[in-house]
């Protein structure tokens, strides 16, 4: 029995240019984009200009939120195992895309696997809603609210989720964000947020041994262990723009490994090991960057 209310049939009639533009919006909730965004905020810290600058402590908290949201999403998808709308694996609006760019567009504009709840909806709320809370400005709240709305809606326009999937994802993301933000000192305790993400990831891995659940578990475990070991040093490390740039260079090296893990779809245990190593490198990168900056 379909979960749809006619929304998929409605969006199927939208012009292709609208659909293609929507794919650009949905990319803001993709794992690879969130990884680069949060990594950049963490590596540079307060060296970035306002209003996008965050302390590295707060950026680490945002990273913890992202892993927690991912873990919760994979756990629930494996629990309900509900299919996506028909045709979700075929990118809508592909007729406007040059053949050379079709694989990239298909990666962004199409989806496979289980559909409930929407991972992009969860990610939009926990990441962009979380960043809005951490920035704490009127502009930040406004931008966060817009992204929390348009990214989930883009999934319906692309025909990869039903409305109920998106609403469930928004509700799950809001509940998770509110709970973790309150329990973790309003963003001041990333270690505790990482522990909560780890607990959720363990539950997901217990439900199903898949690449996605192992990615969530490896990332959450790596983040908690890395922050427990070097978090204090990162927080007390002086922040410079040069150190941030050098740290970003180090972190992007590990991002290359993440790209391999993300694209290749390896065996679950390899996904676990790969993301575990990656997150250690990402979180340690500022220490390497600032250390190198002092020698120049």
Domain parsing of the chain, residue ranges? 7-295
Whether the bond into 61 is cis, omega within 30 of 0: no
pLDDT score of 256 = 84
Mean pLDDT, residues 276-295 taken together: 95
Query: DSSP letters along 40-72, please?
Result: HHHHHGGGSPTTT---HHHHHHHHHHHHHHHHH
At residue 210, does pLDDT exceed 80?
yes
* pTM score: 0.95
pLDDT score of 85 = 94
What are the tens digits of pLDDT across the range 14-61?
898 999 999 999 999 999 899 999 999 999 999 998 888 899 999 999
* Terminal-residue alpha carbon distance, the chain: 64
- What 3-state DSSP class applies to 177? helix
Those residues with Cβ within 8 angstroms of residue 258's Cβ, 6 or more apart along the chain or in another chain: 32, 35, 274, 275, 278
- pLDDT category at 129 given cuts 50, 70, 90 is very high
At residue 1, does pLDDT exceed 70?
no
Residue 95 per-residue DSSP state: G
- pLDDT category at 91 given cuts 50, 70, 90 is confident
């Amino acid at each position: 029995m379909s979960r749809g209310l006619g929304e998929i049939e409605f969006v199927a009639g939208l012009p292709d240019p609208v659909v293609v533009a929507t794919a650009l919006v949905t990319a803001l909730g993709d794992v690879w984009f969130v990884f680069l965004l949060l990594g950049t905020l963490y590596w540079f810290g307060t060296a970035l200009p306002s209003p996008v600058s965050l302390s590295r402590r707060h950026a680490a908290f945002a990273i913890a939120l992202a892993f927690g949201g991912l873990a919760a999403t994979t756990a629930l998808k494996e629990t309900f195992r509900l299919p996506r709308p028909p045709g979700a694996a075929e990118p809508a609006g592909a007729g406007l895309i040059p053949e050379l760019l079709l694989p990239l567009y298909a990666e962004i504009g199409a989806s496979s696997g289980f559909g409930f709840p929407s991972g992009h909806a969860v990610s939009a709320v926990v990441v962009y809603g979380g960043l809005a809370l951490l920035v704490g400005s009127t502009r930040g709240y406004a931008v966060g609210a817009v992204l929390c709305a348009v990214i989930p809606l883009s999934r319906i326009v692309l025909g990869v989720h039903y409305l109920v999937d998106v609403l469930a994802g928004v509700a799950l993301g809001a509940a998770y964000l509110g709970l973790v933000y309150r329990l973790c000192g309003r963003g001041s305790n990333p270690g505790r947020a990482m522990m909560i993400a780890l607990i959720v990831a363990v539950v997901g891995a217990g439900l199903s041994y898949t690449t996605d659940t192992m990615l969530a578990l490896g990332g959450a475990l790596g983040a908690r262990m890395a922050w427990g070991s070097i978090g204090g040093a990162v927080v007390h490390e002086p922040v410079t723009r040069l150190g941030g740039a050098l740290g970003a260079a180090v972190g992007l090296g590990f991002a290359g490994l993440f790209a391999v893990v993300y694209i290749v779809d390896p065996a679950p245990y390899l996904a676990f090991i790969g993301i575990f190593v990656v997150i250690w490198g990402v979180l340690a990168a500022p220490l390497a960057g600032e250390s190198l900056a002092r020698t120049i």
